[in-house]
Every structure is written in C-alpha cells, then in structure tokens.
Structure 1
C-alpha cells in the first residue's frame, strides 16, 4: 500500500487538481460552455455514448496494435542491421532522423490516396511513427553493452548469435522498453490522426463527426478515451518490462 501511494498518489493528485481547475474555469463563465465544456458535462456523455465509443475504440486499437507490431518489427530489424554493420549505420541513421522531420499530417493523405480508406493506410502510418523510437532505443542499447562481457563470451567460443542472444538483447532491454513506452503513445495518436483524413469507423472518425456537429462535450469525451487507452497500453508495457527484467524490479523495491 505504501509503495502504491508513493508511486501513484502524486500523479492522481495532479490529475484531480487539473480537473478541478478545469471545472472551476468552465463554470466561472470566463469561457463559453460550448467552447469548453466542464468535466462534469464530458462525463455525462459516457452513459449514452459508451457502446458507440467502445465500438470505435476497438477499431482504433486494432489499427494501433497492428501498426505497432509492424513498427516494432521494423525498428528491431533496422537496429540489428545498424549494430552489425558500422557502414550501414552511418548511412541509415541520418535517413531515420530525416524521416521524423516529415509531418504526419502530410503523410496521411498520401497513404489514403495510395492505399484507400480501409485499415491499410492506418497501419502503415502507425508503423511509420512507432519504428523510430524502437530503432534508436535498441541501437543505443546494443552499443552500450559492456565490451568486456562481449570479449568474455567470445573468449569462451561463443558465436556471434550467442553474443547477441545472451549479452546484447538483455543489455538493450531497458532502452527497448523506454522506446516502447513512447511508441505505444504514438500508436494510438497516429491511428486517430489517420482516421481524421479518411475512414469508416474509429475514434478519429467519430471525433470528426461530433466536431462538425459542434458537440464539443462528445469531442472531449473522445479525448478522454484516447488518453485512457494510451495510459492502459503504457501500463501493459510497464507490466511486460517487470516480467522481462525481474532483477530491475527487485532493485527498485529496495530503493
């Protein structure tokens, strides 16, 4: 109980403080209610719209999950190649950085034009925005492995694959999960952005519809759902991290 209070109580208190300030601002009349509905008005949307929000959330989660899986796979492959071949690392890394300077909203219409309005452009867009933190994090993890451990493994006759399997992958796990936390947040946001520009269902499509109807309480409700989904995915990543690296969990508990 003490550990839970220490880790989560400050965050809960901060969120409640923001909601309280928001409620006071919305009810003070300083901002018109149609422009900034209060948290109470936003929460009142959920009883009637929960089934609709749930169905759209499933579509967005499917797009985010498929795109994230593709992005993690691509990021892992690129990191392995750059770690194994220094020449390719010097050639590819600037291209990776350059790819992140292109705005997502500029890519999305092209993907819709090329791939249509189904799930394919959404998955591709999510993969494009999630592979970078995975690739950079893993590469940094591979490069930061203790060279003495690598030398010891090789002196014992370990193959290149065994060094990679037993030294580099465990050593890169902290950086991998750090990148994965960023990637899961990008995944949901990327899926929603892609849905803004074309689609038949999903939270982005629903948000566009309620925005055109000037139903800003419903639009803020969608924002709540998107934030909740991102937080849920990040919690799942944290759980996977603790399961994959029990030695870090034990050290954190002692601290």
Structure 2
C-alpha cells in the first residue's frame, strides 16, 4: 500500500514538473491543479456516471471470475476437454476489444448489458488460464498418492488440485482486477448513454482535457481499489503462504 502511494506521488510530481518546465497548452496537458478543479467543478456530473461505470465493472468482474473458474474446473475435471476448450479461449482473447465492442453494442444495446459482457470477456481469460494452469501444475507426487488411496477424479480435484492452484487463481484475480475497467470503458466509447467513457468522449470532442483527465483519474482509482481488494482476498485465501510466494 505504501509502495503504491509513493509511486502515485512520484507520477504526479513528474507530471507537475513537466507542466511547469515545458508549459504546454492546457488543452494538450493540463496540470494536476486543473484536473483537481475540474473534478470538483464537474463532480455532480462525474459521480453518477462513475457509479454506472463501477456497476458495469463489478458485475463484469463477478461474471468473468465465475465463468473463468467454472471453465478451469471443467477442464481440470475433464482433461480431454482442455484440447477443445483452450483454442476457443485463446481465439476469444486474441480478438481486439475494439473489434468486438461494436458488435456487442449492436447485440445487447447501449445500456449496461453490452458493457458487462465486454468486461466479462476481458476478465474471463486471465482467471481461466491462470487457474487452469495452476490445476495442471499440481505436484504429480500428490496425484499419485491420491490414486494410491483410491480417490476419484472429483475428490482429487477438490481436495488436492484446487487448493494447490489457489496461488495461481489469486494471480489471475489480480490480473483481472487490473484489466476490469478496460471492457466497460471501451464499451462506453463505442456506444453508451452514460458512464465515464461517455464523459471522456464528450470532453475529448470539446477539447476539455482537464475533464477527460478527471474522469480518467476516477477510472484509475477504481482499478487501484480493485487491485487492493484482490490483495486482501489473497491474504484471506492464502494465509499460510509468504508474501513472496503469492
């Protein structure tokens, strides 16, 4: 937490130094003071749109995690299925988000649904791939021991492979928390009736760069909070591991 705060302070200091030394036009690069003033001045407009974006992110995060965990468990329970499912997962992840966003907006409309689906698609891959990789990397000795004692596939998965894969799952959750806002924001850029992405698009068209940076600051704050929540979850799920092993 302290390291993150120091990094943010350093970035703001560098930003302010660049503005003071180079003195760019405010519409090119506003100073932190202008962004803070825009945040205060437009708070009545930014706050409700931030709630919309946060709702999209949280629902997409939950659905993406559930879908990713379920897919990884299915591939772990039916190893032969991974040869069929994995190519679909890779193809889904390789699609540029800007390419599929217009299609999702066309299918699901300009409301929350298309943004939630977009966020789900982006979050799904790191969770599914990381958790499945953790399941596949379970110590073979433990698997041999389970077979020796006559444990079935389901019991082996639940009692040995899933606990062994929890560190990998936490890694996937951390990655998902970092990329969670991308889907919602991209979806709002393509087509939306509300949200921070829409605010940023309107501000960009009007060259209100300070407002655009203020909206971006709220998105960054959401991503940081989600990452901290993922770290807290790691402390709850993996209390027996050292920090360097998580």
Fold match (TM-score > 0.5): yes
Match in the other structure for 1:46: 39
**Conserved? CA contact 1:26–1:32, under 8 Å:** no
Instruction: Please provide the CA RMSD for this pair.
Output: 1.8
1:72 Cα deviation (Å)? Answer: 1.3
Unaligned runs of 5+ in 1: 1-7
Match in the other structure for 2:199: 206
1:53 Cα deviation (Å)? Answer: 2.0
Q: Cα–Cα, structure 1 residues 116 and 147, in superposed 2: closer, same or farther, change >3 Å?
A: same
Match in the other structure for 1:36: 29
**Conserved? CA contact 1:122–1:191, under 8 Å:** yes
Pair 1:191-2:184 in alignment:
yes
- Deviation larger for 9-18 or 124-133: 9-18
Match in the other structure for 1:3: none
Match in the other structure for 2:84: 91
Q: Tell me the secondary structure at the aligned position of residue 45 of structure 1.
A: helix
Match in the other structure for 1:56: 49
Question: Deviation digits for residues 219-249 of structure 1, max 9, x if unmatched?
Answer: 011111111100000100110110111101x
Q: TM-score, normalised by structure 1?
A: 0.89
Q: Tell me the secondary structure at the aligned position of residue 151 of structure 2.
A: coil
- Determine which of 226, 233, 236 is the counterpart of 1:240: 233
In structure 2, distance between residues paired with 1:159 and 1:86? 14
- Deviation larger for 150-159 or 169-178: 150-159
Taking the TM superposition and a 5 Å limit, the aligned residue runs for 1:130-149 are 130-149=123-142
**Conserved? CA contact 2:76–2:157, under 8 Å:** no
1:9 Cα deviation (Å)? Answer: 4.2
**Conserved? CA contact 1:130–1:186, under 8 Å:** yes
1:77 Cα deviation (Å)? Answer: 2.0
Unaligned runs of 5+ in 2: none
1:155 Cα deviation (Å)? Answer: 3.2
Number of residues of Structure 1 aligned to a counterpart in Structure 2:
244
1:159 Cα deviation (Å)? Answer: 3.3
In structure 2, distance between residues paired with 1:20 and 1:70? 38
1:10 Cα deviation (Å)? Answer: 4.3
Q: TM-score, normalised by structure 2?
A: 0.92
Q: Tell me the secondary structure at the aligned position of residue 35 of structure 1.
A: coil
Pair 1:127-2:120 in alignment:
yes
**Conserved? CA contact 1:22–1:39, under 8 Å:** yes
